[in-house]
Structure 1
Amino acid sequence: MQKSKGRLLTEIGTVIGIVVLGFISLTPAKSQNTTMKLDHGNLVYTGAVINHKFAGQGKLTVQSQGQYVGNFTDGRFQGLGTFTATKGWQMQSDFQNGQLVDQVKLHVGNKTYDQKILADGTLKNAH
């Protein structure tokens, strides 16, 4: 039996549609720079967002507390970041999945404290 011309065109169109939609769904989401206010304005994020989550370089300001500037992945702190408190002290660290890792540097006035983070989460002076 021979297929009708209309049916053949419909099948070709369907296959092309499936391929195009599959390609679109597999294309990585693009980041978009934006400003988001959360918790009734107590938290303000400015930076890259992918799929409604903080992603890439950004700044998170916590009202009356200070601000964190650094990298985010999937909505969590990731990589090197710095928190500067409104009271003047500053903390720098490396983050992995939102957790402090390796070393923390705390700057208070003209003093710097360098602490190593141990596997159990406790701190030890780094010499």
Structure 2
Amino acid sequence: MMVAIIIICAIFSMQPLKDEKGAKVALDQGKLNYTGDLVRRKFNGKGTLKFADGSVYTGTFKDGYFNGQGDFQAKDGWHYVGGFKKGKAQGKGVLTLETGAIYKGQFEDGVYQEK
């Protein structure tokens, strides 16, 4: 099972230009809505990103990617809570599929590592 979520930011369209805590940013004509910390015009620190389809990520960001601990709820019904690195599941986490199947343990580069 691959869980790979990469956030591509339209950096030049982001406002404000200064570093800010608790900023609110709409991207791609309002299809992406971010509330959280901005550093050098990128998502950095804690924040929440809401997608037009209803999917939501809440957690930490680094240079615009999901990075650190986070919680991603997909509109399709699957849910991942755990570590992220450069937008992909990395480290310990729990993936719950829409079918109810649960994968708990280590993820590497977005892929569950079976024992």
TM normalised by structure 1 equals 0.62
Q: 3-state SS of the aligned residue for 2:29?
A: helix
Query: Alpha carbons of 1:122 and 1:78: their partners in 2 closer, same or farther (altered >3 Å)?
Result: closer
Q: 3-state SS of the aligned residue for 2:53?
A: coil
**Which amino acid in 1 is paired with 2:85?**
Q
In the alignment, the residues of structure 2 paired with residue 70 and residue 102 of structure 1 have an alpha-carbon distance, to the nearest angstrom, of: 15
Counting helix residues as a fraction of each chain, which structure ranks higher? 1
Question: How do 1:2-13 and structure 2 match up within 5 A?
Answer: none
Count of matched residue pairs: 97
In the alignment, the residues of structure 2 paired with residue 122 and residue 90 of structure 1 have an alpha-carbon distance, to the nearest angstrom, of: 14
Q: Percent identity?
A: 31
**Which amino acid in 2 is paired with 1:102?**
G
Larger radius of gyration: 1
The aligned counterpart of 2:45 is: 56
In the alignment, the residues of structure 2 paired with residue 37 and residue 59 of structure 1 have an alpha-carbon distance, to the nearest angstrom, of: 12
Question: How do 1:24-103 and structure 2 match up within 5 A?
Answer: 30-103=19-92
In the alignment, the residues of structure 2 paired with residue 113 and residue 122 of structure 1 have an alpha-carbon distance, to the nearest angstrom, of: 11
Query: Alpha carbons of 1:111 and 1:123: their partners in 2 closer, same or farther (altered >3 Å)?
Result: closer
In the alignment, the residues of structure 2 paired with residue 92 and residue 67 of structure 1 have an alpha-carbon distance, to the nearest angstrom, of: 12
In the alignment, the residues of structure 1 paired with residue 88 and residue 76 of structure 2 have an alpha-carbon distance, to the nearest angstrom, of: 23
In the alignment, the residues of structure 1 paired with residue 33 and residue 71 of structure 2 have an alpha-carbon distance, to the nearest angstrom, of: 16
The aligned counterpart of 1:113 is: 103
The Cα of 1:38 is off from its aligned counterpart by 0.8
In the alignment, the residues of structure 1 paired with residue 95 and residue 78 of structure 2 have an alpha-carbon distance, to the nearest angstrom, of: 7
Query: Alpha carbons of 1:117 and 1:54: their partners in 2 closer, same or farther (altered >3 Å)?
Result: same
The Cα of 1:98 is off from its aligned counterpart by 2.9
Query: Alpha carbons of 1:51 and 1:33: their partners in 2 closer, same or farther (altered >3 Å)?
Result: same
**Which amino acid in 2 is paired with 1:114?**
K
**Which amino acid in 1 is paired with 2:67?**
Q
